[in-house]
Structure 1
């Protein structure tokens, strides 16, 4: 448990990382493009809660592929084939597998997004227990049934009924991620009764299972939810609420509401972002507090140092270049 908490609080900001969020050992292989051709590699043996980074450094491509095999588990692939073998392997080329003495296996696609520096793929997102493993699933304790056990702090953002896969979806933002809680029968109605009493901007503690992830968005099945006292980062976020304009160009404006930032230019709405005030931002951890922003569609996140914040003035330093950005508060 302590290992997962450290990983969740300090997520990888580079590398392609694959983590075993199931309760059984998994053998993992990957497929990726190299020098204009395809390469497949395996196997990494991952015990429960273990991770491996088969691709190191900033990711050059949007799509990678992986395969996970565990006793009693069925892998939901995307019918993308690569060459494999029973022993540890590195195989160049994805064609003529059988003729070259290899096996042909089907992999699942990993979409890391455009321009991603790093990404974490959870094995459980493409793996389900077969009938052979059903007995071991029912024997698991309540914690971890739906994914990786998670405890953390966040800000309540609001709820919507626009998504068809649940009656409604409620959103919490914290630590550079947006957490989705779906009213789909997995999170109890008692917890949704607590959510109904929240107002956007309320600080909360979350406890549940990290059930799935896409980029900076995480689906969480909650076991417990409670309000908490505001910390120093929450108070900075509270002071950021309202309308701001750029000292350099008054047409460049944004409005902060809860954990959202709606940007506009000359009165026309542009991008909608989520934001978190944090003690660290990627590899930066010595100049904080930091403001981390990311596009609501899962775009690349940006880091800023909060250099000055008063009732009327805001000064940010954009990292890594240190470009100074000055804003002033508009009237109510």
Structure 2
């Protein structure tokens, strides 16, 4: 499966990586729509579910770790307008990127329970067509919207738009690698939106409500409440990184960070926006520290970078797991 790298300087290196072995089990998207894939496999004696991975039409992915010894694995794929045929085997999931163990007490742990399909491991190379499980329907049920999913999260305010020309007020938040949109559709939420309208982009918030729909890196929230939270170290680092930056090695490589959205430009061409989070750990990192997770807003793929240093005029990132050092200089405003 093709991955779009967050920093264009890494594109050539990515293309030179050796291809994954063709032997094994692959899931192939032979439908005409982008799907989001979640997979459950047995790891260290426990069933671990991970999602959601974007799978574009025509793409294949090997969903299992190298050397996987299990006889079965389980998967679920979602796309608007498509109905997934499962085997009534349920595991924990949630909107946006996640990693969940087991299948019990999903709600108590902040997850929901969804049904998966079972796939048998073959000793020979095999390809599982997505169309065997996910089929277009005239009105497929929205599994994310059924009853809404309780949602409580620490987010960053991306911006609000006031009511105009009959359109209700709306606010956008970024958290956990996804963008959440809330619309002032209920009278009870009016005070919360009035409060949000007074805040600046990048304000750290704690929001609560019901997630009424989600797909990939985007979701819609029935907002119940919103409150400012005390900025932590990660919030402060994100605030320090606001603005325009250019690569010290390639003046054609630059990006702008606004709130928690990063817009990369390479030699005048804009790449898909990315939702960023500052974390104290990241996949591929063997040690603790400060890390930047950048998630592609269109494909949902995520990349990790270690924040090696951050000053008023210079930012140094280490791309993981390669260890590539990337130095950026801040551009003056205006």
TM-score (norm 2): 0.59
Asked whether the 8 Å contact 1:290–1:305 carries over to 2, the reply is yes
Which residue of structure 1 lines up, in the alignment, with residue 32 of structure 2? none
How many residue pairs match? The answer is: 237
Q: For 2:176 and 2:52, how far apart are their aligned partners in 1?
A: 16
Choose 1 or 2 for highest CA Rg.
1
Higher relative contact order (CA 8 A, sep 6+): 2
Give yes or no for the alignment of 1:216 onto 2:254. Answer: no
Deviations along 1:78-101, one digit per CA (max 9) or x if unpaired, are 438xxxxxxxxxxxxxxxxxxxxx
1:44 corresponds to which of 79, 86, 89:
89
Q: 3-state SS of the aligned residue for 1:12?
A: strand
Q: For 2:247 and 2:264, how far apart are their aligned partners in 1?
A: 11
Q: For 1:206 and 1:317, how far apart are their aligned partners in 2?
A: 32
Q: 3-state SS of the aligned residue for 2:195?
A: helix
1:271 CA displacement: 3.6
Q: For 1:65 and 1:211, how far apart are their aligned partners in 2?
A: 28
Deviations along 1:22-60, one digit per CA (max 9) or x if unpaired, are xxxxxxx9888xxxxxx9652336797434554689xx8
Deviations along 1:166-204, one digit per CA (max 9) or x if unpaired, are 624311112212111122338611111111111101111
Asked whether the 8 Å contact 2:254–2:266 carries over to 1, the reply is yes
Give yes or no for the alignment of 1:12 onto 2:32. Answer: no
Asked whether the 8 Å contact 1:187–1:221 carries over to 2, the reply is no
Deviations along 1:217-256, one digit per CA (max 9) or x if unpaired, are 1212121110111111000101101111111101211111
Q: For 1:271 and 1:31, how far apart are their aligned partners in 2?
A: 26
Give yes or no for the alignment of 1:207 onto 2:208. Answer: yes
Q: Identify if the C-alpha distance between structure 1 residues 45 and 321 changes in structure 2 by more than 3 Å, giving closer, same or farther.
A: closer
Which residue of structure 2 lines up, in the alignment, with residue 307 of structure 1? 308
Give yes or no for the alignment of 1:226 onto 2:219. Answer: no
Asked whether the 8 Å contact 1:15–1:53 carries over to 2, the reply is no
Q: Identify if the C-alpha distance between structure 1 residues 11 and 163 changes in structure 2 by more than 3 Å, giving closer, same or farther.
A: farther
Q: 3-state SS of the aligned residue for 2:322?
A: coil
Asked whether the 8 Å contact 1:280–1:289 carries over to 2, the reply is yes
1:123 CA displacement: 3.0
- 1:12-91 equivalences in 2 (<5 Å): 12-13=50-51, 42-44=87-89, 49-51=112-114, 54=117, 78-79=136-137
Deviations along 1:99-157, one digit per CA (max 9) or x if unpaired, are xxxxxxxx949xxxxxxxxxxxx8343x5xxxxxxxxxxxxxxxxxx522121111100
Q: For 1:163 and 1:254, how far apart are their aligned partners in 2?
A: 31
Q: For 1:227 and 1:289, how far apart are their aligned partners in 2?
A: 23
- 1:1-332 equivalences in 2 (<5 Å): 12-13=50-51, 42-44=87-89, 49-51=112-114, 54=117, 78-79=136-137, 108=140, 123-125=143-145, 127=146, 146-160=147-161, 167-185=168-186, 188-267=189-268, 269-282=270-283, 284=285, 286-332=287-333
Q: 3-state SS of the aligned residue for 2:50?
A: coil
Q: For 1:244 and 1:330, how far apart are their aligned partners in 2?
A: 5
1:297 CA displacement: 3.1
Asked whether the 8 Å contact 2:158–2:173 carries over to 1, the reply is yes
Asked whether the 8 Å contact 2:52–2:216 carries over to 1, the reply is no
1:285 CA displacement: 7.1
Q: For 1:214 and 1:124, how far apart are their aligned partners in 2?
A: 8
RMSD, aligned CA: 4.0
Q: For 2:204 and 2:76, how far apart are their aligned partners in 1?
A: 41
Q: Identify if the C-alpha distance between structure 1 residues 315 and 64 changes in structure 2 by more than 3 Å, giving closer, same or farther.
A: farther
Q: For 2:187 and 2:283, how far apart are their aligned partners in 1?
A: 32
Asked whether the 8 Å contact 1:203–1:234 carries over to 2, the reply is yes
Unaligned regions of 5+ residues in structure 1, if any?
1-9, 17-28, 33-38, 68-76, 81-106, 110-121, 128-145
Which residue of structure 1 lines up, in the alignment, with residue 22 of structure 2? none
